[in-house]
């Protein structure tokens, strides 16, 4: 019988519903249970692919090419699973599905309404992965009380009613703020949030309380009394130096045992605590490296969430603390700022803003023998930089930024030329590449055949490969022997650009080889 855990949130956004859900999922995995996670976002966008990262954070890409919320990256890293289109849902996608059904006449002339048609589609998706796991953890984005989230909450209420009580567990993540003037934690926001949830018809079985200070027994008792949950089901979620310590914090409060008890399930193996030990063992740092990430969205760390995680994971495996700083590509004194860092990373992005700054940063890294990693647009900028400064192709550019450039070293993919709509139309998801032997890429991957996730419209123009290789830029990997996937420079401590997004493949204790090689090169270069 399928089991379901619903994760909702209240008071404010960004409390960590995804991390809470993933931490619960990790604990259940350590009991030998097969877990999957599904995200539901209430916004009307069909997916976040066309949204500005300042609005939404990074766009995570699944292996089958779905553009999704960054929480799917959290799910993959915690649970070491691959997500797909079935793991991500939005109000826009759900409404579009229902409207398409109505246009086809699937509803036999009925008046199509939020209830039951929208809620029925949501419930269908709640159960989409039930045959592939023991437990589905379902995260509903936003906060309780949001207008756009009401159909999802209503669907969850119906779903709970239609399933046996022992098959559905409700977790509500809320905030217990510390009021400095009063020198005390306040439970009232939690009480109001839970009351709002109960008005909708959902009574939480567990409350996870985000807090800066530990909750004493009297506070837990108060939350229990006014929110109608067992006192042992009030779980403290203190700020943590690492998100990967949170599963153990929940374990120490018996969160997993309480869920297993309520859902009437049995562990499939003896609980494995070694994951906690391994996570803590890679948190001891003997060295430090300072890495500059030069991007367009430096004001929002979540815009580069997977890159941040990948750098930290790789560094931790080398007993190193990665101090990651985000620099604005448009800053006039960018090159001067770079003097303070041990390495440069230029991430992906779209549009012309900040491009010249990124190119200048790459010039600095190349000329000063500073380890450099370029990802997607970062790889394309490295091609432009070498074209201008080593191959002497004056004002070489990408047709994305200058349609009339004399030297279009980056051009639009042939498959993209006639596309009218921007949403979900790029080259997306996993593609295979073949790496040349005796290259830096081969030394990092230790294989000639790789498969990585993509998200791009433009490519390195094959017409310029011969010219650029004569200038010193080697194309070390191709997709189907045609599309350049990796470029690198010889006679440099570490200079590599990749068309794909390796950051989506990082896992705790399984650092991606590109990032691990990057950090190792930074340490050696210091």
pLDDT in tens, 338-387: 999 999 999 999 889 999 999 999 999 999 999 999 999 999 999 999 99
Asked which of 247, 277, 307 is the last residue of a domain, the reply is: 277
Residues 401-429, mean pLDDT to the nearest whole number: 88
Please confirm, yes or no, whether 503 is among the known catalytic residues.
yes
How many C-beta neighbours within 10 Å does residue 330 have?
14
Give Cα separations from 195 to 208, 223, 272 (angstroms): 15, 12, 37
Feature table: binding site for Mg(2+): 71, 139
pLDDT at 55: 85
Kind plus residue range of the DSSP H or E element containing 60: strand 60-61
174: domain CATH number is: 3.40.50.300
Give Cα separations from 36 to 46, 70, 325 (angstroms): 22, 16, 33
Same structural domain, 205 and 126: yes
φ and ψ of 195, to 5 deg: -60, -40
For residues 56 and 211, the model is more confident at 211
Mean pLDDT taken over the chain: 95
How many C-beta neighbours within 10 Å does residue 422 have?
11
Same structural domain, 302 and 237: no
Q: How confident is the model at residue 260 (pLDDT cuts 50, 70, 90)?
A: very high
Same structural domain, 224 and 318: no
Catalytic position from the list 236, 459, 488, 503: 503
Structure tokens at 301: 């760390």
Feature table: binding site for ATP: 14-19, 71
Whether residue 248 is predicted with pLDDT greater than 90 in this model: the reply is: yes
Feature table: binding site for CTP: 13, 146-148, 186-191, 222
First to last CA, the chain: 56
Asked which of 255, 277, 299 is the last residue of a domain, the reply is: 277
Feature table: binding site for UTP: 13, 186-191, 222
pLDDT at 413: 85
What is the chain's alpha carbon radius of gyration, rounded to the nearest angstrom? 25
pLDDT at 4: 98
Query: Which residue is associated with the tokens 């500059």?
Result: 292
Percent of the chain with pLDDT over 70: 100
Same structural domain, 254 and 113: yes
Same structural domain, 301 and 434: yes
For residues 448 and 415, the model is more confident at 448
Please confirm, yes or no, whether 133 is among the known catalytic residues.
no
Structure tokens at 397: 């550019």
- Strand 135-140 versus strand 35-41 pairing type: parallel
pLDDT at 480: 92
Same structural domain, 329 and 444: yes
| Alpha helices (H) in 347-464, listed in sequence order | 355-367, 377-389, 440-445
Per residue, the 3-state secondary structure of 163-180, as one string, reads: CCHHHEEEEEEEECCEEC
pLDDT at 13: 86
Feature table: binding site: 13-19, 54, 71, 139, 146-148, 186-191, 222, 349, 377-380, 400, 457
Query: Which residue is associated with the tokens 């779980």?
Result: 235
In this predicted structure, which of 66-75, 144-153, 210-219, 422-431 has the lowest mean pLDDT? 422-431
pLDDT tens digits, one per residue of 1-23: 789 999 999 999 889 999 999 99
Dihedral of the alpha carbons of 275, 280, 281, 283, in degrees to the nearest 10: 140
Same structural domain, 370 and 267: no
List the domain range (segments joined by +) for residue 155.
3-277
**Contact partners, residue 305, CB within 8 Å, separation at least 6:** 57, 58, 60, 70, 73
DSSP 416: G
Please confirm, yes or no, whether 381 is among the known catalytic residues.
no
326: domain CATH number is: 3.40.50.880
Total domains in the chain come to 2
Whether residue 284 is predicted with pLDDT greater than 80 in this model: the reply is: no
**Contact partners, residue 403, CB within 8 Å, separation at least 6:** none
Whether residue 425 is predicted with pLDDT greater than 90 in this model: the reply is: no
Residues 93-113, mean pLDDT to the nearest whole number: 96
Asked which of 254, 277, 300 is the last residue of a domain, the reply is: 277
Alpha carbon of residue 99 to chain centroid:
30
Burial class (CB in 10 A: 0-12, 13-18, 19+), 403: exposed
Contact 523, 484 (CB under 8 A): no
pLDDT at 283: 66
Same structural domain, 202 and 318: no
Same structural domain, 312 and 368: yes
Same structural domain, 290 and 347: yes
DSSP 115: I
Residues 255-268, mean pLDDT to the nearest whole number: 95
Same structural domain, 224 and 75: yes
Catalytic position from the list 117, 172, 501, 512: 501
Feature table: binding site for L-glutamine: 54, 349, 377-380, 400, 457
Catalytic position from the list 209, 227, 233, 376: 376
**Contact partners, residue 111, CB within 8 Å, separation at least 6:** none
Same structural domain, 290 and 261: no
Select the highest-mean-pLDDT range: 268-282, 309-323, 414-428: 309-323
């Amino acid at each position: 019988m399928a089991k379901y855990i619903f994760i909702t949130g209240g008071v404010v956004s960004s409390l960590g519903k995804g991390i809470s859900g993933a931490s619960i999922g990790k604990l259940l995995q350590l009991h030998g249970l097969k877990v999957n996670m599904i995200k539901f976002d209430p916004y009307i966008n069909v997916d976040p692919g066309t949204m500005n990262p300042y609005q939404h954070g990074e766009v995570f890409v699944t292996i089958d090419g779905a553009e999704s919320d960054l929480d799917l990256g959290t799910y993959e890293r915690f649970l070491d699973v691959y997500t797909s289109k079935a793991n991500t849902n939005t109000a826009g996608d759900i409404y579009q599905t229902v409207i398409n059904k109505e246009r086809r006449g699937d509803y036999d002339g009925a008046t199509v309404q939020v209830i039951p048609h929208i809620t029925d589609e949501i419930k269908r998706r709640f159960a989409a992965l039930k045959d592939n796991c023991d437990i589905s953890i379902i995260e509903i984005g936003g906060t309780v009380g949001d207008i756009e989230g009401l159909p999802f909450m209503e669907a969850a209420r119906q779903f709970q009613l239609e399933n046996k009580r022992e098959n559905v567990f409700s977790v509500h993540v809320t905030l217990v703020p510390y009021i400095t003037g009063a020198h005390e934690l306040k439970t009232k926001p939690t009480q109001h949030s839970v009351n709002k949830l109960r008005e909708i018809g959902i009574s939480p079985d567990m409350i996870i309380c985000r807090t800066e200070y530990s909750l004493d027994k009297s506070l837990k008792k108060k939350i229990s009394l006014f929110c109608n949950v067992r006192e042992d089901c009030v779980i403290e979620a203190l700020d943590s130096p690492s998100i990967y310590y949170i599963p153990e914090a929940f374990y120490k409060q018996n969160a997993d045992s309480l869920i297993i008890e309520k859902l009437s399930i049995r562990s499939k193996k003896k609980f494995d605590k070694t994951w906690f030990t391994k996570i803590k063992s890679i948190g001891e740092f003997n060295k430090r490296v300072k890495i500059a990430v030069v991007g367009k969205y430096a004001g929002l760390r979540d815009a580069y969430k997977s890159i941040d995680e990948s750098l930290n994971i790789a560094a931790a495996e080398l007993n190193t603390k990665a101090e990651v700083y985000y620099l604005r590509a448009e800053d006039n004194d960018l090159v001067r700022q770079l003097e303070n860092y041990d390495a440069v990373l230029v991430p992906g992005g779209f549009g012309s803003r900040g491009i010249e700054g990124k190119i200048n940063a790459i010039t600095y890294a190349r000329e000063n023998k500073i380890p450099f990693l370029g990802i997607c647009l970062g790889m394309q900028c490295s091609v432009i930089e070498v074209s201008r400064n080593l191959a002497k192709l004056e004002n070489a550019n990408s047709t994305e930024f200058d349609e009339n450039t004399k030297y279009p070293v980056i051009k639009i993919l042939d498959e993209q030329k006639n596309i009218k709509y921007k949403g979900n139309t790029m080259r997306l998801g996993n593609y295979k590449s073949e790496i040349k032997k005796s290259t830096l890429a081969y030394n990092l991957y230790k294989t000639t055949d790789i498969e990585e996730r993509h998200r791009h419209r433009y490519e390195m123009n094959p017409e310029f490969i011969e010219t650029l290789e004569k200038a010193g830029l080697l194309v070390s990997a191709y997709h189907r022997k045609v599309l350049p996937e990796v470029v690198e420079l010889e006679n440099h401590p570490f200079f590599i650009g990749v068309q794909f997004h390796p950051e989506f493949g990082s896992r705790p204790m399984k650092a991606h080889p590109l990032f691990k090689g990057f950090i190792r090169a930074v340490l050696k270069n210091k």
